Structure formats: C-alpha cells, structure tokens
C-alpha cells in the first residue's frame, strides 16, 4: 500500500527535501529518516536543507514575490481553487499517507485532507474580499481610506500532529493575499510535506506561477532558527510547543518582525449538573483519545460537578474499556500510536508524576507490547483523578492522559478552567442557558475558543483558530485571520485646490 502511495506522489526511497515550487534542488544537509509509528518501518530518507540550500530558496522566493504580488487577487484565488480540486483527487492517497507517517486514525487522516480542501474553498472566496475601510476626513476636499498589501515571504513551521492541514491554513491565505511561502515541515513527517509539494507544483506549472511562490525546506531545528532570525522574512508562522514558540517569538521580535504563534493547549470541559451526560461522554472521549491525545485541542481536563461526578466517571470508565487500540489504517480502530518512542517516554514519565503528586487512576495506563505493537509507540489511554493545582496537570503532555476533578459552583469551575498557563480551547456541557452565557461572558473562559455542548477538539474553517496566554495569541484560518498576512496602509487623497492641515493647524507662508 505505502509503495503505491509513494509512487503516486513521485517520492523515492531517498528524496530531496528542498524545492522552489517548480524545481527540486540537490539538498546537501543532514539526512532525515521517516519511520512509521504504526509498524516501526523506515518509509524513506530525506536529504535536508543546508544553509546554502536555504539561502538559495529565500533568494528565489524574494524574486517570485515581486511578480506574484502583481497578479490580481482573484487570479491568485483561481490557482488556489485548482489546488483544492487536486486535493480532492488525491484525498484517499494523501489521507492514508498522513495516517501511516503520523499515526492518526485513517478517518482523521482523511479529515485532515478535507480541512485542506475546505480552506482552499474559503481562500477562493477571500480572494475577492480583501477589503479595507473608508473614513470621512476632517479636512474638506479630502478622502481617506485604508488598504491591505502583501508582506512578502511567509515562513511556515508546522508540527507533526497536523502535518498538512495547518500548512494549508497558512499557505492558502498567504497566497491569495499575494505572499510567497517557505515551508519547514516537522522533521518527523517530511513525506506528507513532499506529497503536498508535488500536488501544488503540478497546479503551479499549469498556471505559469513563478518559481519560488511555494517553497519547501525540510530540516531539523536549525532551519527554523534560520527563519526566525532572517530579516528577509517579515512573517514567521509557527505551530508547536510553547517552548519552541517562545524561542521563535523572541528571535522574530528582536528584529521587529511579525510572528503568528499557535502553541500548546491544556483544554478543559466543564461537565455541569445540568449536562446531557450521554452527549458529554462523546465529546469527552473523542477529545481525550482522538489522535492519541496529540492534538493541541485535545481534552486534557474534565471539571465535573460533584453531583454527577460518580455517574459520569462511571460512564467514562466503561467507554474506555471499549476503546480499540491498534493499526490506525484499520477503520475499526479508535486509537493509534504516539508519534515516536520519545513521546511514549514522556507519557510514562507523566503517569509517574501523577502518582508522585497524589493522583489516583480510574483507568490505568501503560505501554502496549506484543503482536501488532512492535513499533513500541502504542499506549493505553488512561484517566487520573487529580487536583487542578498539581504541577503535572498544569503541564501539557501530548498523550492520551485525561485528568478528572470535581467542582461545586460554576464560578469555581471557570476559575479552575482558566487556572493554567495555556489558553487555547475550552467547553462547557450544560442545558442551562444562564450557565452557558456566563461561560462565554467576559468573566468566563479566557481561551481563544469557547464552546457550549461540543468538545474542545477540532475547529471549523470559518472561524479564526488560536488561543491566548502561552498558546501564543495567533489566529489562523477563518474570519479576518487573513490580516496577519498583510500590512495595513492608510491613504489620504486631497482633491481640493488647498492644503489644509489636520487639527486646524495654520502654517502660512
């Protein structure tokens, strides 16, 4: 199966990881090895970008920007429309490659490609709506308005857990805005990036898009550091850990560049005494175990009203007993592997810290071994009863560990929800309108995403995606997130025969 998919995207066993969109360069950096967490097998090796490769790509992108920005936005949108059609044709193959290289379930792999298709559709419409405002001038015979111009190069640093979707959120919007893009994919999932590059390059070649609009520079941490410190790159969009985001943000800020940061989450669902417990169960379980707990929006904490705590945790324990763990390419499987054995080690370490800090397990965790688990990356989703203030609970572990705790009043629950360093996604399960509105009020959730009667995991393309506090403050995808990829310019036109000054100032000569 995997050999046929690699052939579909013209990926060889040893492949360059550097492309200018229309040309693959002989890469001479380190060698990256892509191994599947599904079975532990090496899929291919990738030759990463050297500093020489990187500088050549940036120079090509700079040159391309001068031409690409002059294409009418609807014409750029037409190119993105064709990318969406190409993704539709390749959805099955790309979705399977995502699942096999990253380890998420096959349905989630298909879903990730669908997100790419959806953002293409959104970006096509956006290409005809890059609008500014008009304002009345205080000076007679003057007109004021604002307009938006592209920034230049958008550098995109993506994470392994959504190896293609988040890149598309950034690139499709950046392209219709008139920017060019350089993508550094996660070193853990380079093949999906190469597959996307192959899809895009065919569309770009057919439309005579200039070389350098869509660039790929696979590599390790050093490539991201080059991007963060490069004054030729006005915007760096980075998705990953808070630690990584702080490093990128400080480097970009030091040169007064712009950064768009999508970092960690420590997401909670409040289960009210007025909740529909059956519906709540679905949101909680999928949120906690989907992608094996490796989503930035994964549900990490359940804050449960004391009156329904016992009943709801009993439902949880029963549901966890029905989870099927195994090969994610089997559509009957709920939970696939973690990305690698380092992730397994972090999971096991967190379990030990829970015990050391006083937590108890309602569902025990552990590493799975034996037939079907030879890669060493499979673990048991577990549930721990804890206190919100435990150090380990304040920390984001990218694994299927779910913390449960009790609350008495809604104000207490909201305070617990907010009392973590991260601020990405949040939810309340309640049929009480007053509780729902309080949760969404200015005194409610402090997260960038706040939901009622749906879980924390997942997001729709139409809304801006992102969070506050140590989540970084960035916004991607829908709403007016496109403004992050452009610069605002205020224009005043004097069509009178005089030059009056603002605020009535007189300067007579």
For the question of residue 262 being annotated catalytic, the response is: yes
Judge contact between 381 and 335, C-beta under 8 A: yes
Distance CA 175, CA 309 (A): 49
Block residue for tokens 């391309």:
64
Strand partners, 142: 494
Measured distance CA(425)–CA(270) in Å, rounded: 12
Of 407, 461, 502, 505, the C-alpha closest to 165 is 461
Alpha-carbon distance values, 116 to 86, 122, 173, 196 (Å): 11, 10, 11, 10
Side by side, which strands form the sheet with 486-494? 134-135, 142-150, 486-494
- CB-hemisphere CA count at 13 Å for 30? 9
Beta bridge partners of 147: 489
CA angle 282, 287, 289 (to 5 degrees): 100
Give the max Cα distance, the chain: 91
- Backbone φ, ψ for residue 462 (5° rounding): -70, -20
> Is 146 in a helix, a strand, or coil?
strand
Q: Which of 115, 187, 201, 262 is catalytic?
A: 262
Closest by CA position to 214, among listed 110, 349, 330, 79: 79
Can you say how many angstroms the Cα of residue 509 is from the centroid of all Cα atoms in its chain?
58
Alpha helices in 321-401 (DSSP H): 341-356, 391-394
Q: How far is CA 293 from CA 265, 284, 317, 402, in A?
A: 11, 12, 17, 9
Beta-sheet strands, E only, within 130-193: 134-135, 142-150, 153-157, 180-184
SS3 content of the chain, % helix, strand, coil (to 5): 40, 20, 40
Active-site positions? 262
């Amino acid at each position: 199966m995997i050999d046929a998919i690699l052939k579909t995207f013209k990926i060889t066993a040893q492949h360059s990881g550097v492309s200018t969109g229309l040309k693959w360069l002989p890469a001479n950096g380190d060698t990256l090895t892509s191994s599947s967490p599904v079975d532990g097998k090496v899929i291919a090796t990738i030759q990463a970008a050297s500093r020489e490769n990187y500088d050549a790509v940036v120079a090509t992108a700079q040159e391309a920007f001068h031409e690409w920005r002059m294409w009418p936005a609807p014409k750029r949108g037409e190119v993105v429309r064709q990318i969406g059609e190409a993704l539709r044709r390749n959805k099955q193959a790309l979705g399977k490659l995502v699942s096999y290289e990253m380890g998420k379930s096959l349905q989630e792999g298909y879903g990730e490609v669908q997100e790419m298709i959806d953002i293409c559709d959104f970006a096509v419409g956006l290409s005809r709506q890059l609008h500014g405002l008009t304002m009345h001038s205080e000076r007679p015979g003057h007109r004021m308005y604002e307009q938006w111009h592209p920034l230049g190069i958008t550098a995109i640093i993506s994470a392994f857990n959504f190896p293609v979707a988040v890149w598309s959120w950034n690139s499709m919007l950046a392209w219709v805005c008139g920017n060019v893009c350089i993508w550094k994919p996660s070193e853990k999932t380079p093949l999906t990036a190469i597959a996307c590059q192959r899809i895009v390059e065919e569309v770009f070649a057919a439309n005579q898009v200039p070389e350098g609009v869509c660039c790929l520079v696979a590599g390790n941490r050093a490539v991201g550091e080059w991007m963060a410190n490069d004054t030729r790159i006005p915007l760096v969009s980075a998705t990953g850990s808070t630690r990584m985001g702080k490093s990128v943000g400080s480097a970009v800020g030091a040169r007064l560049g712009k950064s768009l940061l999508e970092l960690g989450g420590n997401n909670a669902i409040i289960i009210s005494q007025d909740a529909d417990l059956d519906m709540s169960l679905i949101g909680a379980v999928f949120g906690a175990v989907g992608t094996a707990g490796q989503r930035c929006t994964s549900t990490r904490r359940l804050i449960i009203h004391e009156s329904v705590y016992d009943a709801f945790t009993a439902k949880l324990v029963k549901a966890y007993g029905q989870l099927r763990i195994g090969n994610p390419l089997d559509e009957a499987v709920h939970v696939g592997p973690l990305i690698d054995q380092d992730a397994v080690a972090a999971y096991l370490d967190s379990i030990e810290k829970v015990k050391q800090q006083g937590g108890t397990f309602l569902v025990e965790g552990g590493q799975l071994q034996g037939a079907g688990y030879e890669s060493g990356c499979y673990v048991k989703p577990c549930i721990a009863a804890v206190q919100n203030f435990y150090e380990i609970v304040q920390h984001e572990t990218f694994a299927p560990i779910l913390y449960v705790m009790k609350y008495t009043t809604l104000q207490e629950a909201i305070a617990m929800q907010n009392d973590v360093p991260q601020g990405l996604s949040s939810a309340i399960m309640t049929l009480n309108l007053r509780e729902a509105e309080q949760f969404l009020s200015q005194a409610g959730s402090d997260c960038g995403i706040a939901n009622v009667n749906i879980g924390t995991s997942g997001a729709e393309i139409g809304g801006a995606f992102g969070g506050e506090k140590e989540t970084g403050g960035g916004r991607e995808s829908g709403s007016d997130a496109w403004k992050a990829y452009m610069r605002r310019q205020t224009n005043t036109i004097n069509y009178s025969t005089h030059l009056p000054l603002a605020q009535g100032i007189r300067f007579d000569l």
